[in-house]
Amino acid sequence: MSTLKAFNLARTSLLTYIQDLDEEILDFQSKYFDNTVRWHIGNTLLMNEKLLFVNQKKSQRIPKEYAELFSSDINVSDWSSEPPSLGQLIDDLAEQQQRINSYDELFWKSNVKFKAPYGHIETHGDLLIMLSHREAEMLGKIKMMKQVYDNQ
């Protein structure tokens, strides 16, 4: 499976699953999880943006406030502004997916210009593999969070 195909599978799976979620579950805070479903969706969007669009003309397509809401060191209890709706996050994820798919093969073969977390990330293609894996993990966590919500 190609790198882009794997990413598109993960992203489409995430989009398909979250589009049917109720707004109530988005902000449900369980004692079993550090953050909420909304935070996990936003964090996925933010991390892909930060790592795949570093110093790119295609960057800055998501609101700057997302860093204040969805950074890894932020908890929902720290929020001082209104988070985006599920519909807005879905639109942002779909738009980001289109931008990621617009990169050419040369970009995916090019080396990243920073030290990436989680192992031996050398090219942007390697980075996309890591982000796709992370996105699939986030989807699994969101599904677990929904189970906890449904069984409360």
Tokens 């599920």 correspond to 86
All structural domains of the chain: 3-150 (1.20.120.450)
What residues contact 84, with CB distance under 8 A and at least 6 apart? Answer: 42, 63, 66, 69, 92
pLDDT single digits (tens) 89-136: 999 999 999 999 999 999 999 988 877 666 688 899 999 999 999 999
Mean pLDDT score, 141-149: 96
Mean pLDDT score, 39-65: 84
Nearest to 69 by CA among 35, 100, 24, 116: 35
Q: Which amino acid is at 99?
A: R
pLDDT single digits (tens) 56-99: 555 557 888 999 999 999 999 889 999 999 999 999 999 999 99
Secondary structure class of 123 (helix, strand, coil): strand
What residues contact 92, with CB distance under 8 A and at least 6 apart? Answer: 45, 61, 62, 84
pLDDT score recorded for residue 144: 97
| pTM listed for this prediction | 0.92
